[in-house]
């Protein structure tokens, strides 16, 4: 409790004076006194149990004249105590969020302080003064910044009472943790198995410098960092990275992780997006020889082109074949990668034998085979 007296002058001599006092919680009380023969008057002594800002207006009962409202502050003698904060986690989005502080001994004039990386110790939070309602709860705006951090919070009695003995413990904190990246889509979703680097665009949210793109494919043994890291992020909801799909048909799953040291399910995107890698259809540029004698003997045919791979099948189309059929000499021998050889029997009649190369014995369609325009003239 604080006891004090209010003294005044200028009232009607021997007249009445009424004081109206407004407490910190806005409740009003009245007091009455009588001025002396010179117009001097006094109120009190008062005892104010609550800390905070009080104001008073004194009115001369006879003339109706009043004083200008004046105020005074009663400082709490009890140190604020904090029991909990809410929330205790925030994203580093550099945006102001409301922080609610629960505790006791809160009073008008209290100041919230924070301590974080780079603050150099306890500093007044930018959102001061806090709003106190009810008496055991205060709210203040807190900006968590743009980096992962821990922000410690304490409440002090006033801006001039910011020591360990006049502030709460400061053990309560806000964990500032970056949200895990989220991927909504990728483009393209299919690539040819050409063993060449292609640009992959990843769309989503929560992308930030330091993010790492991971891939999971046949033979990777799980999630591994993509060779094209780090990705380029621009705008914030889009990143690009170079991806080499390899030389075999496969499915490459893609995810984005917070950093090279944060590559767990909780710090990475879902990893459900994928690239379908399809082996490019073989392409034939020429064959040799382009003519054979109808001697019903097997001859070596050399086929030149690209996209040749193990499992390829050579097909032929000739009079009486009824369309494309697998050549009897399969499988072909591939060496170097742009050249394959196979034994061909031209038969014993003059004919034209068309030749094409298909991806495999189960991929023998126009889209999975070479053009089939190359031919052997059988004389």
pLDDT (tens digit per residue) in 89-137:
998 888 999 999 999 999 999 999 999 999 999 999 999 999 999 999 9
Residue holding tokens 């800002």? 53
**Helix-then-strand count for the chain, H and E:** 0, 33
- The number of folded domains in the chain is 4
* pLDDT over threshold 60, residue 237: yes
In eight-state DSSP terms, residue 10 is -
Is 66 found in the same domain as 98? no
List residues bridging with 341 in a β-sheet: 302, 333
Q: Give the mean pLDDT of 204-208.
A: 93
Report d(CA 318, CA 320) in Å as an integer: 6
Residue 211: Cβ within 10 Å count: 24
* pLDDT over threshold 70, residue 2: no
* pLDDT over threshold 80, residue 74: no
Residue holding tokens 């140190």? 79
DSSP code per residue over 113-126 = EEE-TTS-S-EE-T
Residue 250: which residues within 8 A CB-CB, separation 6 or more?
A: 193, 217, 218, 277
User: Which residue, of 58, 74, 90, is where some domain finishes?
Assistant: 74
In eight-state DSSP terms, residue 145 is -
Residue holding tokens 């409202």? 69
User: Which residue, of 74, 94, 110, is where some domain finishes?
Assistant: 74
* pLDDT over threshold 60, residue 1: no
Of the two residues 195 and 174, the one the predictor is more confident about is 174
Residue 50, pLDDT score? 67
Residue-wise pLDDT for 330-368, tens only, equals 999 999 999 999 999 999 999 999 999 999 999 999 999
Is 167 found in the same domain as 188? no
Residue-wise pLDDT for 45-54, tens only, equals 877 766 678 8
Is 259 found in the same domain as 308? no
Q: Are strands 374-378 and 351-358 parallel, antiparallel or unpaired?
A: antiparallel
Band (83; pLDDT cuts 50, 70, 90): very high
Joined together, the tokens standing for residue 249 give 């048909």
Report d(CA 323, CA 326) in Å as an integer: 10
* pLDDT over threshold 90, residue 198: yes
Report d(CA 269, CA 203) in Å as an integer: 11
Residue 331, pLDDT score? 97
Whole-number average pLDDT of the chain: 94
**Domain that residue 24 falls in:** 2-74
Is 90 found in the same domain as 50? no
Residue-wise pLDDT for 31-70, tens only, equals 999 999 999 999 988 777 666 788 999 999 999 999 999 9
User: Which residue, of 144, 176, 208, is where some domain finishes?
Assistant: 176
Report d(CA 371, CA 351) in Å as an integer: 19
Residue 192, pLDDT score? 87
CATH code for the domain of 152: 2.60.40.10
pTM value is 0.54
Report d(CA 338, CA 361) in Å as an integer: 20
- Cβ atoms 282, 357 nearer than 8 A: yes
Q: Give the mean pLDDT of 208-218.
A: 95
Residue 201, pLDDT score? 99
Is 213 found in the same domain as 267? yes
């Amino acid at each position: 409790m604080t006891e004090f007296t209010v003294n005044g002058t200028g009232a009607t001599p021997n007249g009445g004076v009424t004081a109206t006092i407004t407490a910190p919680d806005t409740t009003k009380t009245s007091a009455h006194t009588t001025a002396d023969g010179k117009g001097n008057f006094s109120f009190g002594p008062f005892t104010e149990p609550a800390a905070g800002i009080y104001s008073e207006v004194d009115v001369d009962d006879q003339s109706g004249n009043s004083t200008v409202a004046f105020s005074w502050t009663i400082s709490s003698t009890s140190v604020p105590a904090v029991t909990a904060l809410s929330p205790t986690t925030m994203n580093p989005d550099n945006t102001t969020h409301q922080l609610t502080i629960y505790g006791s001994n809160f009073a008008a004039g209290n100041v919230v302080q924070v301590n974080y990386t780079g603050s150099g110790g306890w500093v007044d939070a930018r959102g001061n003064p806090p709003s106190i309602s009810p008496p055991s709860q205060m709210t203040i705006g807190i900006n968590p910044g743009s980096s992962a951090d821990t922000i410690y919070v304490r409440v002090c009695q006033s801006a001039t009472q910011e020591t360990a003995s006049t502030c709460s413990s400061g053990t309560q904190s806000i964990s500032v943790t970056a949200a895990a990246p989220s991927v909504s889509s990728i483009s393209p979703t299919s690539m040819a198995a050409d063993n060449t680097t292609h640009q992959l665009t990843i769309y989503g949210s929560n992308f930030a410098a330091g993010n790492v793109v991971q891939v999971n494919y046949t033979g990777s043994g799980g999630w591994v960092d993509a060779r094209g890291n780090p990705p380029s992020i621009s705008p914030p909801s889009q990143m690009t990275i170079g991806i080499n799909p390899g030389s075999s048909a496969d499915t490459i799953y893609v995810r984005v992780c917070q950093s090279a040291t944060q590559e767990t399910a909780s710090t990475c995107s879902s990893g459900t997006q994928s690239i379908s890698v399809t082996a490019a259809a073989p392409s034939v540029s020429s064959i040799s020889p382009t003519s054979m004698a109808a001697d019903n003997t097997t001859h070596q045919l050399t086929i030149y082109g690209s996209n040749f791979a193990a499992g390829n099948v050579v097909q032929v189309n000739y009079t009486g074949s009824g369309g494309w059929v697998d050549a009897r000499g399969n499988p072909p021998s591939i060496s170097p990668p742009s050249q394959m050889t196979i034994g061909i029997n031209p038969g014993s009649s003059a004919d034209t034998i068309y030749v094409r190369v298909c991806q495999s014995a189960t991929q023998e369609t126009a889209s999975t085979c070479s053009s089939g325009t190359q031919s052997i003239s059988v004389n």
